[in-house]
Amino acid sequence: MNVFNQLSIWLSFQVSIIFLIGIPITLLLWSIKKGNKAVNTLISIYWKISPLFFISLLLLIGKYDYALVITNISTILMTISVWFWNDINDELKEYDFSYSLATTTKIWRWSLTFLSLNFLIQSLRNFSCFSFINSSLCEIWLKPPSNFYNIIKNLFNFFFGANFTQPIAKFLGLLLLLIYTIGLIQWSIIKLPKNGRNSCFSEYGKY
């Protein structure tokens, strides 16, 4: 069962590369080409929320005890960010199945939702890892981000000529988490009460 659990978690991270990075980039470029402001705004909002997932990877690399909590919060926030906006939802409903950009966007939103639920279910199966990631039982959660760690390590060494270590990853992760939290609180206090669930994409012209 442990081998199956480890494989399942590894696959979840591998699939996340496609649905959290690959498809959103494709949709962003596609929406720009098509001049679709609704999809463009949706993906732009998503990219403002998604950095929290990569911050959580830094925290996992740094073996921060609550890193898995941050990972799940990030996937939940990303899912909320693509379903939250009434004006975008209404716009997407107007397109029929033959409009491939809107159809792909809808499929991606559902895929992102299932991916978020999968991460949560996987995490609940290792509930103790929510508060103590350094446990031997939680090593399966630390192995998938190792590829991300190697990429950052090589880039860090290339640009700064220094080694990128786990304590540095933890420090950067916590620093970025603080900045992200301040930005999210600012948006919640200033923009959310003003605009509500309206993304305001229509103010820039409807395509």
What are the residue boundaries of the structural domains of the chain, listed by start? 2-204
Tokens of 97: 């199945």
Question: Tell me: the pLDDT tens digits for 84-132?
Answer: 999 999 999 999 988 999 999 999 999 999 999 999 998 998 889 998 9
Tokens for 179? Answer: 């900045």
pLDDT at 50 over 90: yes
Work out the average pLDDT over 47-61.
93
User: What local confidence, expressed as pLDDT, does residue 158 receive?
Assistant: 63
pLDDT at 125: 87
Least-confidence region, from 45-54, 68-77, 87-96, 147-156: 147-156
Of the candidates 177, 188, 150, which has an alpha carbon nearest to the alpha carbon of residue 166? Answer: 150
Q: Sign of the C-alpha dihedral, residues 89, 93, 95, 97?
A: positive
CA distances from 65 to 43, 69, 78, 82, 97 (A): 31, 9, 22, 29, 45
> 193 to each of 43, 67, 189, 198, how far by Cα in Å?
22, 30, 7, 10
Question: Identity (one letter) of the amino acid at 130?
Answer: F
Sign of CA dihedral 72, 75, 81, 82: negative
Between residues 32 and 158, the one the model is more confident about? 32
Given phi > 0 = left and psi -120 to 50 = alpha, else beta, which region is 129?
Answer: alpha
Higher local confidence (pLDDT), 145 or 195 = 195
b/e map of 107-122 (b: 16 or more CB within 10 Å)?
ebbeebbebbebbeeb
* pLDDT surpasses 70 at 205: no
In this model, does residue 145 exceed pLDDT 80?
no
Tell me what pLDDT residue 38 has: 94
* Model pLDDT, residue 159: 66
The predicted-structure confidence for 159-173, as pLDDT tens digits, reads as follows: 666 677 888 889 999
CA-based R_g, the chain, Å: 18
